[in-house]
Amino acid sequence: MGGDLIGSLLIANRGEIARRIIRTARRLGVRTVAVYSEADASQPHVRDADAAALIGPPPARESYLRGEAILEAARASGAEAIHPGYGFLSENADFAEAVIGAGLVWVGPPPAAIRAMGLKDAAKRLMAAAGVPVTPGYLGDDQSPATLAREAAAIGWPVLIKAVAGGGGKGMRRVDRAEDFAGALDSAKREAASAFGDDRVLLERYVTRPRHIEVQVFGDARGAVVHLFERDCSLQRRHQKVVEEAPAPGMGAATRESLCAAAVRAAKAVDYVGAGTVEFIADASDGLRADRIWFMEMNTRLQVEHPVTEAVTGLDLVEWQLRVASGEPLPLTQDQIAIRGHAIEARLYAEDPARGFLPSIGPLAHFALPAGLRVDAGVEQGGEISPFYDAMIAKLIAHAPTRGKAAAKLSAACRAVEAWPVKTNAAFLARLLDEPDVRAGLVDTGFIEARLDALAAPVPPSAEAAARAAGALMPPEDRSPWSARGLAGWRAGAAPATATLQHGDRIVTSAIGAPGSAVLTDDGAAIVFEAGEALAFTRTLASDDAETQGGDGLLLAPMPGRIVQVTASAGAQVSRGQPLVTLEAMKMEHVLVAPFDGVVEDVRCVVGDQVTEGAMLARLAPSPPG
């Protein structure tokens, strides 16, 4: 290969990462080709590219995971190279080989490196041989439940079950007691098989004060490898990253040097080329120390959180990918790369924290993102959130001279997010970023779970928000200061005009303010955006005796999905909180439990069923008194 830059690039991905790659390609004069499923025909990444190709129906397995369809699109469009983004086929060595075999440039590491790091057990053995410290655990081939249970007990509780072919928290379970191991193992294997087509697992010692720290590495075809320093990804929920930052708070110079050197050794051990991330688990019970940081895995692709590294180094990682894939040497040597300031990224998801973070799908009638910081968004107002793909819709990235200023900037940005009727986690993110311990950098991977109820609970609307809603809902004649209602507020000593509103299950009596930025819906509601929340108000009072969800004994599907486990059976006596049905949706398992002590009267689903939102899955009757 020479040094001429790739002239045309097909991006085998969607959403915000496809748009982010297109931005760099356009700046470099590289022609881009997007691919899309039938569900994504009107998505912004399709419009942004110079050309686009339809590759199949909405389900990912019938579109974005169809390697041959993507190769055919590349041939038909005249693309010279394929960039896989992250997820989908990005860490599929067979697909990388097929791309190279078709005479195209693969913008990623060599297939051999993907294979070496793709299976966690083999990767750990390789890293240990290369002098990279690894977490104690079980990496054996014997996958029998009895052997795994015995090895878990030998490691000591708590223990972590991880999918051998896993990533993104799929197929991962923490187990604290021997009696819980069998059920957790079954669930982890089932989820791993669904996500990766491989149900094998490994076991690790669970670190009780863990920090998730990763190092960005880059290699070229000449054998050079550099690191671009570390990121801290400890703020997670259900093993999925929520907030990431660079550099890691509390990282001393000596520990950083040791950690980054280990990451470079890891990359050189597999002759790595391109962008990669070496992930470590740190025991933070006594600060960050080099002798308490262990290798977990290597992600052989660009990471979701790469923008924080770009912010603190001033580099464009996609440009580096394209240059290295074109045969050029690394643009900089290690001593030319430095950290400048601090950057924090928050992942904005289409989900409802108040309902257990259930994905929120449907049209984006109103969608506005903040200005003044980097925003990588995959959707726009007027678009639609599909049930077929990951729920992340944008990333907000704040960069500032200090960590405190970056956190404050990002918190303010999250509070400025506006979305309706799709719900987002913006307010949850803002509250998280405002936590005193987060501001102080005192975090670990269990931080969110320990405070989840408080962080996810809906906050009552302010008086100002209610007044804006009242102003929007009142007829124009009632808002006029010259109307009979409006004049009440102008008489000396008289009370101002008020309105009675409904907000969720709350009755609010509010002054009538200016409508402000309230959004009126077709069904007569006023939507007011406040601190990242979309607050809905109406003038219709709800029934005082409305039953709570599940109070009628109906177990309903909270979203479209596939039934993967049914433990309920007609006639069975069940207890409140007992798991009855497990639904897989948006690549995650959701367990539906009994809403009260009772008897299962009817079960309307079996494993394998595809169900729609609101479908009745089971019906319960309360246990008789006494």
Which residues, in sequence order, are bridge partners of residue 582? 565, 591
Same domain? 249 vs 308: yes
Residue 149 and residue 75 share a domain: no
The proportion of the chain whose per-residue pLDDT surpasses 90, expressed as a percent, equals: 75
Go through the chain and tell me how many residues it has: 626
Give domain status of residue 454, yes or no: yes
* Predicted local distance difference test score (pLDDT) of residue 430: 98
Residue 86 lies in a domain: yes
pLDDT at 121: 79
Q: Which pLDDT score is estimated for 588?
A: 64
Q: What average pLDDT does the structure give for the chain?
A: 90
Q: Looking at residue 494, what is its pLDDT?
A: 43
Other CB atoms within 10 Å distance of the CB of residue 570: 11
Do 531 and 500 sit in the same domain of this protein?
yes
The count of domains in the chain is 6
Query: Domain of 327?
Result: 210-340
Same domain, 322 and 303: yes
306 in the same domain as 275: yes
What CATH number has the domain bearing residue 377? 3.30.470.20
Model pLDDT for residues 280-311, shown as the tens digit of each residue? 999 998 899 999 999 999 999 999 999 999 99
**One domain, residues 215 and 328:** yes
Q: Which residues, other chains included, contact 296 with Cβ-Cβ below 8 Å and sequence gap of 6+?
A: 120, 135, 212, 279, 280, 281
Does one domain contain both 559 and 509? no
DSSP secondary structure, 334-381, as one string: GGG----SEEEEEEEESEEGGGTTEE--EE-SEEE--SSSEEEES--T
Summarize pLDDT for 211-255 with one digit per residue, the tens. 999 999 999 999 999 999 999 999 999 889 999 999 999 999 999
Q: How far apart are CA 525 and CA 45, in angstroms?
A: 32
Confirm whether 116 is domain-assigned. Answer: no
Residue 110 has pLDDT above 70, yes or no: yes
Chosen domain end from 408, 436, 458:
458
Residues 173 and 272 both lie in one domain: no
Distance, CA of 152 to CA of 458 (rounded, Å): 39
Cα–Cα distance for residue pair 52/434, rounded to 1 Å = 42
Q: How many CB atoms lie within 10 A of CB 503?
A: 22
- Which pLDDT does position 144 carry in this prediction? 96
Task: Encode pLDDT of 402-413 as tens digits.
Answer: 999 999 999 999
Mark whether 301 is an active-site residue.
Answer: yes
Least confident piece of the model among 57-66, 120-129, 361-370, 394-403: 120-129
**Active site residue: 20, 211, 301, 323, which one?**
301
Read off the pLDDT band of 118 (50, 70, 90).
Answer: confident
> Residue 127 burial by CB count (10 A; 0-12/13-18/19+): exposed, middle or buried?
buried
CB atoms within 10 A of CB 575: 11
- Say whether both 379 and 404 belong to one domain: yes
pLDDT exceeds 50 at position 482:
no
Q: What confidence tier does 490 reach under pLDDT thresholds 50, 70, 90?
A: very low
User: Which tokens hold the place of 58?
Assistant: 């909405």
199 and 215 part of one domain: no
Query: Does the residue 542 lie in any domain?
Result: no
Question: Between 59 and 484, whose confidence is greater?
Answer: 59
334, 229: one domain: yes
Domain end marker among 340, 359, 385: 340
Is 433 part of any domain?
yes
Q: What is the mean pLDDT of the segment spanning 135-145?
A: 90
Give 50-60 pLDDT, tens digit per residue. Answer: 999 999 999 99
Question: CATH no. for residue 184?
Answer: 3.30.1490.20
Q: CATH number of the domain at 34, please.
A: 3.40.50.20
For residue 118, being part of any structural domain is answered with no
Q: Is 38 exposed, middle or buried (0-12, 13-18, 19+ CB in 10 A)?
A: middle
Residue 489: is its pLDDT beyond 50?
no
The answer to whether residue 63 sits within a structural domain is: yes
Within 8 A by CB and 6+ apart from 368, the residues are 381, 416, 417, 418, 419
176 falls within a domain: yes
The reply to whether 261 and 319 lie within a common domain is: yes
Predicted local distance difference test score (pLDDT) of residue 517: 77
Give me Rg for the CA atoms of the chain. 26
Of 205, 227, 247, which one is at a domain's C-terminal end?
A: 205
Q: Which pLDDT band holds residue 544 (cuts at 50, 70, 90)?
A: very low
The pairing of strands 561-566 and 610-611 is antiparallel
Structural contact between residues 122 and 116, judged by C-beta atoms closer than 8 angstroms: yes
